[in-house]
Structure 1
Amino acid sequence: MSETTIPAAARLELEQGLAALGLAHSHAAPLLAYLALLLRWNRAYNLTAIRDPHEMVGKHLLDSLAMHASVDAIAAAGGSLADLGAGAGLPGIPLAIVKPGLQVTLVEANGKKARFLREAVRTLPLPNARVVEARIEAIDATASFDAITARALASLPQLLALGGHLLKPGGVLLALKGAVPDAEIAALPPGWRLQAVRPLTVPGLAAERHLVVVGRAPDTSSGVPGGAS
């Protein structure tokens, strides 16, 4: 499927959404190429339950990009982000497209989804992205990433249990959530603390969205930053 097969209304929604998010119009073409690839593979691999291109623009592409400002500093420094349980590549691939300085690792244990991710990275192409086909907790990359992120994967405590070991000192979990997950925040494990809850506006979507930022708590017993993961 080529970009031209994406309905005009969906292309227009993406272009308007990029403008509303303060992102360059030039990102539209690679994002549409990714969307076209996802639509084609979705027919055989069932990568996402959403199959309408217009709906995919808002609920997948723009929803993923609503957090882009929160990775600006990491991208500017050439830092790294791991997308845990990346699935069809959301939010990792859209972020890799609009932030070429961001080094994105797409972590996915499902073989079919990992194959799609490798194809997307190869054909788009995305030199700043790579795919790791493995379970999150099995990755031997301790203290390797400036940030980890996940979208509709697990609770905050579960995400930290699975992937907290991947964060560098000072690294953060950037968790995409709907309503503010007060119970999950209250259940954060020892050694971790809430840093911020940022309301997100997704162009064209009325749904409530928040980015929850969690980092390691200072080790008050020794006077230096630290904590368990």
Structure 2
Amino acid sequence: MSENSAEVFHLEKEPSEAAKVFGDRLPLARKYAELLARDGDLLGLIGPRELPKLWSRHILNSAVVAEYVVDGQTVADVGSGAGLPGIPMAILKPNANFVLIEPMERRSKWLAETVVPELGLSNVKVLRGRAEEAPLANYDVATARAVSALPKLLRMLAPLVVPGGTILALKGSKAADEIAESKPLLKKLKLASFEIVTAGDNLLTEPTTIVRVTLL
């Protein structure tokens, strides 16, 4: 065994921002972090090198997107993978409904049989399949994180959202470039507008960048 392969990565210490973000829902976020740390590498949910930044880069980064969800809405998390951003958002928004859409069996099974019951998230359902197989025009909000470039992502998500609904695409520093590449899709996908917004401005050192797209 090489020295590199024997390297051990440890779960990031819970940052002080976690309590500010989750409030009295923090115990659920802690449990989710524990499950990810325990099963993530084994099930291919998240790489071991991500453990030292699990809270800051993944859980908190995802949770703050809930700022753009209203109670009573139904949210689709497409390509949910390890439940990001859907699970942290659902923890923060118990009065909104979340559907985690994930095509890989081992990931969808872990979400449905481990995460949802152990966290007691009655507002979360798991749908195994691709976005193209999900019910059309069925969600108030569709979100995705690290799934694909914005033009392709919009083709996947727009058909799922009700007229007047919203797409929340978690993006980084190239958000403006991706919007420019997506402008030709406005008419075809019946999109009303693109907007770059941030979440967690008063909570996180590095707020989350989101491309918010409104449908006609």
User: TM class, shorter-chain normalised?
Assistant: 0.7 to 0.9
Partner of 1:18: 18
TM-aligned CA deviation for residue 116 of structure 1: 1.1
Offset of residue 35 of structure 1: 1.0
Please list every run of at least 4 consecutive aligned residues from structure 1 whose deviation after the TM superposition is greater than 3 angstroms. 18-21, 50-54, 200-206
TM-score w.r.t. structure 2 length?
0.84
Residue 134 (structure 1) aligned with residue 129 (structure 2): yes
Count of paired positions: 200
Q: How does 1:115-154 map to 2 (within 5 A)?
A: 115-118=109-112, 119-139=114-134, 141-154=135-148
Quote the Cα distance in structure 2 between the aligned partners of 1:211 and 1:163.
15
Alignment of 1:8-157 (within 5 A): 10-11=13-14, 13=15, 16-21=16-21, 23-24=22-23, 26-51=24-49, 53-71=51-69, 74-75=70-71, 78-118=72-112, 119-139=114-134, 141-157=135-151
Question: Structure 1 residue 20: deviation in Å?
Answer: 4.4
Residue 43 (structure 1) shift: 3.8
Normalization by structure 1: what TM-score?
0.79
Distance change in 2, residues 1:198/1:110 (3 Å): same
* Equivalence for 1:215: 214
Give SS of 2:42's match: helix
Secondary structure at the aligned position of 1:44 is classed as coil
Q: Which amino acid counterpart does residue 146 of structure 1 have in structure 2?
A: D
**Quick one: which amino acid aligns to residue 69 of structure 1?**
E
Deviation for aligned residue 1:182: 2.2
Alpha-carbon separation, structure 2, partners of 1:148 and 1:66: 15
Whole-angstrom distance in 1 between the partners of 2:162 and 2:59: 28
Letter in 1 for 2:153: L
Unpaired segments ≥5 residues, structure 1: 1-5, 218-229
Cα offset for 1:70?
1.1
Give RMSD over aligned pairs. Answer: 2.2
How far residue 201 of structure 1 moved from its aligned partner, in angstroms, is: 4.5
Aligned-partner Cα distance in 2 for 1:32–1:51: 19
Moved more, 194-203 or 107-116: 194-203
Aligned-pair distance for 1:18?
3.3
Unmatched 5+ residue regions in structure 2?
Answer: 1-9
Q: Distance in 2 between matches of 1:111 and 1:126?
A: 20
Percent of aligned pairs with the same residue? 31
Report SS of the residue matched to 2:40.
helix
Give distance in 2, aligned partners of 1:173 and 1:204: 22
